[in-house]
């Protein structure tokens, strides 16, 4: 790479911050914010500076590894591909296609090449035993979008730059930079909100970094958000504050919501939520009477026992108060590559509960089972038992519930392969590790997070560094494995057209296809020029792509229906290359009802699956408030995925993997400042230092997510030196939200006591 400043997007969280990377003689000299980036305007967080650490990490794998009796051994790519294809094919032939499991981690959604190649790979594997981080994260949001708006990724996004009231419940965007809300420089945006006379309200079991900036803060008991939200709905109807605005013409079943809310008065839910009836009514009134307002919830509201209903009610409250599709409220993006429209054109709007998992009977969503049942499907004998496993850019041992049981499950697999460039807590169980190129060695376009941005933007980044001559991109790895699996399934030889299709796909790569998607999108033009280059390849790809792959739509159809006639045109890959800081596509705009994908073109305000789950929510009102400690997670701005802990810049400073506990609870448990605590549940036990703080609601304790680098056999020196403990080792995998199948990561009961080293040695 030539010397100079190179503009790029940071890929380490959802914020899509623009970075200016200074390179000299093949090395990174500095990383700063790109002031010309139309979304981040020069803002970056500490993660962006650590891009250098992650790229230059000596622990990063660069050649395929094979497990042997004498340890890990380097092997060539062709040998590695053949070993993987042979073993997966053998297990599929002996035990059926569902004997293979696949887990995809969330770094895949930052990678347009992996996303384009991922579906052909999954099709070649053929298994129904698919898992991802979705059910530990945003599944309730996807389900609500599917049920209410007709498409699983049609998410309403807070129009935070123009709102006058922002209510944040169960989210900490100061640490996350937004989640399902791509919002760099949240601090600056909140300052601007207050500068124009607006108000910021936060509701959370912990006074988070975000909560400390609030004009009004309320503690809430973990897992009770649905009760609070239903009481707010009750208040709107009782006080005559319901006004759907222009959404009234295309919203149905308002009366069903009114009837459903009758038992949930503010008085009825007060003791269970920890908020007074007056406070509940005041929040509801402010939302209803502020013309430009948005109610936003995230991990805290979705990953709990009533996460499905809570997420639905957040959407319901925004709709009942006229804030949906309204400036300053909750709006839909109009991205340059419209994955919503592309998916709908190929018949892939999403589906739920078409089948149930073999062991626990949990519903699939979009073809994936909940991650909380992965261990069940491996450890439980019978037809369909998982015997081989593939992980792609994921470390579920530290990110999914009951890490100890999942470790036992991975240890008994007949074969495992990991596409990953770290030897971590999960990949150390693999027989073969296939390391892809690092992020700065490949081009970048945010297909997914452009759909969640608080402002419409488009940006493409060229590869910053040239990969080594023997390196492989992850899209190349996935396509090669898929091709070889298909060859073996067909007895060693594919029909000529299919063989040509695979060769064309591998030769073409993702960027020309990205260009076609840009030109075919709502801002694009001159599709014919792009088609001239790729149409022959697309004609061949149709035969090998899964039926739901969006490229099938592009292969056979003319440009997408451009419903927004006033949008600027002329976008292409070439246009983005000419503007490396990115292109400003304008603020969020009203786009309903045209953007709806429901059968009748209306918002389904009261889907029956949510109404049917309200009996379970009502039962909570009849149950006394438990006098037990409830566990919640937490996020830090210098952390996201577990592999970021191998950057010295991101882990330096005081220990962040602590047990936060309120002074009253610390006294009750016999804990003093400087002690370590033993935290236990039915799943296991961990030991962590304590942090006594009044920022936590009494009865609640908090441990951060993603730590626990204590397992033997990993190769991440910095992470091992700052190991911490894994919260997932004490989160039970049998606690889920039965409506959505989401793991209960917040609100599980734990026991806390003083840990004494001498007592531990005696037990040993």
CATH, residue 344: 3.40.50.740
Average pLDDT over residues 388-413: 97
Q: Does 454 share its domain with 540? A: yes
Q: Is 177 left (phi over 0), alpha (psi -120 to 50) or beta?
A: left
Strands of 608-738, DSSP E? 629-632, 659-661, 676-680, 685-692, 700-702, 736-737
Same domain, 453 and 543: yes
Number of domains in the chain: 3
**Residues 621 and 228: beta-carbon distance below 8 Å:** no
> Is 513 found in the same domain as 655?
no
Inform me whether the pLDDT recorded for 759 exceeds 60: no
384 and 256 within one domain: no
Determine the pLDDT at residue 263.
97
Whether 531 shows a pLDDT value over 80: the answer reads: no
597 SS3 class: coil
Q: Is the model's pLDDT at 754 over the cut of 50?
A: yes
Measuring CA to CA, which residue among 588, 650, 287 is closest to residue 455?
A: 588
CA 349 remoteness from chain centre: 18
**Are the C-beta atoms of residues 634 and 208 closer than 8 Å to each other?**
yes
Burial of 277 (0-12, 13-18, 19+ CB in 10 A): middle
Sign of torsion, CA 720 110 125 121? negative
What is the end-to-end Cα distance of the chain in Å, rounded? 55
Q: pLDDT at position 516, please? A: 85
Supply the CATH number for residue 646's domain: 2.40.40.20
Determine the pLDDT at residue 761.
Answer: 42
Question: With pLDDT > 90 as the criterion, what percentage of the chain qualifies?
Answer: 84
Q: How far apart are CA 750 and CA 7, in angstroms?
A: 47
Q: How does pLDDT run across 488-524, given as a tens digit for each residue?
A: 999 988 998 889 889 988 998 999 889 888 988 889 8
Please list the residues that pair with 89 across neighbouring strands.
none
Per-residue pLDDT at 528 exceeds 70: no
Percent of all residues in the chain with a pLDDT value above 70, rounded to a whole number: 94
**Are 285 and 235 contacting, i.e. CB atoms less than 8 angstroms apart?**
yes
Judged against a pLDDT cut of 70, whether residue 713 lies above it is answered with: yes
Checking if the pLDDT of 724 tops 80, the result is: yes
Asked if residue 227 and residue 118 are part of one domain, the reply reads no
Residue-level pLDDT at 545:
72
Domain annotation covers residue 32: no
**Span 206-240, pLDDT tens digits:** 999 999 999 999 999 999 999 999 999 999 999 99
Model confidence at 525: pLDDT above 80: no
244 with 102, same domain: the answer is: no
Average pLDDT over residues 438-460: 96
660-708 tens-digit pLDDT? 999 999 999 999 988 999 999 999 999 999 999 999 999 999 999 999 9
pLDDT at residue 562, rounded to an integer: 45
User: What confidence tens digit (pLDDT) does each residue in 21-40 have?
Assistant: 999 998 999 999 999 999 99
Distant-in-sequence, close-in-space partners of 240: CB < 8 Å, separation ≥ 6: none
Alpha carbon 199 to chain centroid distance?
28
With tokens 């607006």, the residue in question is 198
DSSP string, 25-68: TTEEEEEEE-TT-TTTTT---HHHHTHHHHHH-TTS--S-EEEE
Same domain, 117 and 216: no
Residue 431 lies in a domain: yes
Same domain, 608 and 634: no
Residue 60 maps to a domain: no
Q: Identify the domain containing residue 86 by its residue range.
A: 65-136+337-586
SS (H, E, C) 1-21: CCCEEEEEECCCCCCCCEEEE
The pLDDT mean for the chain works out to 93
Q: Is the pTM of this model over 0.75?
A: yes
CB half-sphere exposure, 209, CA atoms < 13 A:
14
Give the pLDDT mean for 416-423: 97
pLDDT at res. 249: 95
Give residue 559's pLDDT.
Answer: 46
Does one domain contain both 604 and 582?
A: no
The arithmetic mean of pLDDT across residues 538-549, rounded, is 70
Q: Where are the beta strands (DSSP E) in 534-664?
A: 583-586, 603-604, 629-632, 659-661
Of 751 and 515, which is predicted with more confidence? 751
pLDDT band at residue 649 under the 50/70/90 scheme: very high
């Amino acid at each position: 790479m030539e010397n100079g400043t190179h503009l790029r997007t940071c890929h380490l969280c959802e914020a899509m911050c623009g970075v200016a990377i200074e390179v000299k003689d093949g090395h990174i000299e500095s990383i700063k914010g790109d002031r010309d980036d139309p979304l981040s305007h020069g803002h970056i967080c500490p993660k962006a500076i650590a891009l250098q650490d992650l790229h230059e990490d000596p622990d990063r794998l660069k050649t395929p590894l094979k497990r042997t009796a004498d340890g890990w051994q380097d092997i060539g790519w062709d040998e590695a591909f053949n070993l993987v294809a042979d073993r997966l094919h053998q297990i599929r032939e002996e035990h059926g296609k569902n004997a293979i499991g696949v887990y995809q981690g969330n770094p895949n959604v930052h990678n347009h090449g992996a996303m384009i190649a991922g579906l052909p790979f999954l099709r070649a594997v053929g298994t129904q035993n698919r898992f991802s981080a979705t059910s530990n994260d945003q599944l309730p949001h996807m389900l609500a979008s599917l049920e209410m708006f007709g498409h699983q990724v049609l998410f309403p996004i807070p129009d935070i730059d123009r709102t006058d009231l922002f209510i944040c419940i169960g989210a900490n965007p100061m640490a996350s930079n937004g989640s399902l809300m791509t919002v760099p420089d949240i601090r600056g945006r909140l300052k601007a909100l207050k500068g124009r006379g607006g108000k910021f309200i936060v509701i959370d079991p912990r006074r988070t970094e975000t909560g400390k900036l609030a004009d009004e803060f309320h503690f809430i008991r973990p897992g009770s958000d649905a009760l609070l939200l239903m009481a707010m709905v009750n208040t709107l109807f009782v006080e005559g504050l319901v006004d759907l605005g222009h959404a009234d013409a295309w919203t149905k079943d308002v009366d069903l919501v009114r009837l459903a809310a009758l038992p949930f008065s503010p008085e009825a839910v007060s003791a269970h939520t920890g908020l007074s009836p007056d406070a509940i009514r005041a929040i509801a009134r402010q939302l209803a009477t502020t013309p430009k307002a948005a109610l936003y919830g995230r991990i805290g509201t979705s990953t709990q026992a009533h996460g499905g209903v809570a997420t639905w009610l957040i959407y319901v409250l925004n709709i009942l108060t006229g804030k949906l599709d309204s400036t300053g409220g909750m709006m839909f993006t109009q991205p340059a590559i419209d994955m919503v429209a592309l998916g709908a054109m190929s018949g892939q709007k999403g589906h739920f509960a078409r089948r149930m998992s073999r062991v626990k009977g949990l519903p699939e969503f979009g073809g994936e089972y909940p991650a909380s049942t992965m261990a069940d499907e491996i450890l439980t004998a019978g037809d369909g038992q998982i015997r081989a496993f593939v992980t792609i850019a994921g470390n579920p041992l530290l990110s999914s519930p009951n890490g100890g049981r999942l470790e036992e499950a991975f240890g008994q697999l007949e074969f495992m392969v990991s596409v990953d460039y770290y030897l971590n807590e999960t990949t150390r169980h693999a027989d073969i590790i296939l390391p892809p190129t690092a992020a700065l060695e490949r081009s970048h376009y945010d297909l997914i997070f452009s759909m969640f941005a608080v402002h419409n933007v488009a940006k493409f980044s060229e590869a910053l560094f040239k990969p080594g001559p023997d390196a492989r991109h992850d899209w190349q790895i996935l396509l090669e494995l898929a091709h070889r699996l298909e060859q073996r399934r067909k007895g060693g030889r594919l029909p000529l057209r299919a063989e040509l299709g695979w060769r064309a796909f591998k030769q073409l790569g993702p960027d020309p296809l990205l260009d076609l998607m840009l030109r075919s999108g709502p801002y694009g033009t001159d599709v014919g020029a792009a088609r001239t280059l790729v149409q022959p390849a697309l004609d061949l790809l149709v035969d090998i792509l899964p039926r739901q792959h969006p490229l099938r739509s592009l292969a056979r159809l003319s440009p997408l229906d451009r419903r927004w006639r006033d949008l600027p045109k002329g976008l292409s890959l070439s246009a983005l290359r000419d503007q490396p800081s990115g292109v400003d596509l304008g603020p969020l705009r009203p786009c309903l009802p045209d953007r709806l994908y429901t059968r009748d073109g209306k918002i389904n305000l009261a889907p029956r699956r949510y109404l049917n789950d309200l009996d379970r929510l009502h039962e909570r009102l009849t149950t006394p408030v438990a006098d037990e400690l409830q566990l919640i997670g937490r996020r830090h701005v210098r952390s996201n995925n577990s592999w970021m802990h191998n950057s010295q810049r991101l882990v330096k400073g005081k220990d962040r993997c602590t047990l936060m506990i309120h002074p009253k609870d610390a006294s009750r448990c016999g804990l003093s400042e400087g002690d370590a605590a033993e935290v236990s549940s039915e799943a296991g036990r961990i030991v962590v230092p304590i942090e006594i703080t009044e920022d936590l609601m009494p009865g609640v304790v908090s441990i951060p997510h993603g730590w626990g680098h204590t397992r033997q056999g990993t190769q991440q020196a910095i992470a091992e030196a700052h190991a911490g403990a894994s919260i997932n080792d004490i989160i039970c995998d049998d606690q889920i939200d039965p409506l959505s199948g989401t793991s209960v990561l917040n609100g599980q009961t734990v026991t806390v006591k003083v840990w004494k080293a001498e007592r531990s040695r005696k037990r040993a």
